[in-house]
């Protein structure tokens, strides 16, 4: 017997609505930050790597600790605003990435359960169609397009035709 029902946690309609409302509120709150970079812009501006973040941090530390050593024509209030904004955004990104990972993991288990139950149902449908039980032949004919038969000497169940199967 295969392992099934790996995730029995299902959101109620009220929980779904609460999450949807929270996401809508987040989208609304973030609307002023919306900037759509083109692929060329992303390549041009890129993301600073860890080494360059250390440079920015060091310059910021020097500006705070020894402002007399700072280059005079840099807009330091804007530098500080950019620095603070990027730190806050990085914290938000990390939290959102954590939430996303939790959603992906939960969805993965639901996908696994659905997929294996669908395979079990197909096997049952195939059996019932072979016994000429009314209604099952049409269902079998519709479903068999998703499966390829193995060689006749292999008595295994048919396998899905796609390479996009969830790992077992």
pLDDT per position as a tens digit, 71-104? 999 999 999 999 999 999 999 999 999 999 999 9
| Single pTM value for the model | 0.72
In the chain, DSSP finds a helix count (H) and a strand count (E) of: 5, 2
Joined tokens for residue 54? 């250390």
Q: Which residues, given as ranges, of the chain have pLDDT below 70?
A: 1-4, 150-168
Q: Could you count the other beta carbons within 10 Å of the beta carbon of residue 125?
A: 21
pLDDT in the model for residue 168? 42
Joined tokens for residue 114? 């659905």
Residue tagged 């959603």 (tokens): 103
pLDDT in the model for residue 6? 81
Could you give the CA distance from residue 84 to residue 72 in angstroms, rounded to a whole number? Answer: 20
Could you give the CA distance from residue 105 to residue 109 in angstroms, rounded to a whole number? Answer: 7
Joined tokens for residue 10? 């299902």
């Amino acid at each position: 017997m295969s392992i099934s029902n790996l995730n029995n946690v299902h959101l109620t309609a009220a929980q779904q609505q609460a999450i949807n409302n929270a996401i809508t509120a987040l989208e609304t709150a973030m609307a002023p930050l919306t900037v759509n970079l083109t692929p060329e812009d992303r390549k041009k501006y890129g993301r600073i790597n860890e080494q360059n973040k250390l440079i920015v941090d060091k310059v910021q530390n020097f500006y705070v600790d020894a402002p007399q050593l700072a280059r005079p024509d840099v807009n330091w209030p804007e530098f500080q605003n950019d620095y603070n904004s990027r730190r806050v955004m990085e914290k938000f990104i990390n939290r959102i990435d954590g939430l996303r990972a939790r959603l992906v993991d939960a969805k993965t288990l639901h996908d696994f359960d659905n997929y294996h139950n669908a395979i079990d149902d197909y096997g049952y449908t195939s059996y019932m169609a072979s016994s000429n039980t009314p209604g099952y032949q049409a269902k079998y004919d519709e479903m068999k397009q998703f499966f390829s038969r193995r060689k006749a000497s292999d008595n295994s169940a048919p396998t899905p035709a796609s390479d996009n199967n969830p790992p077992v």
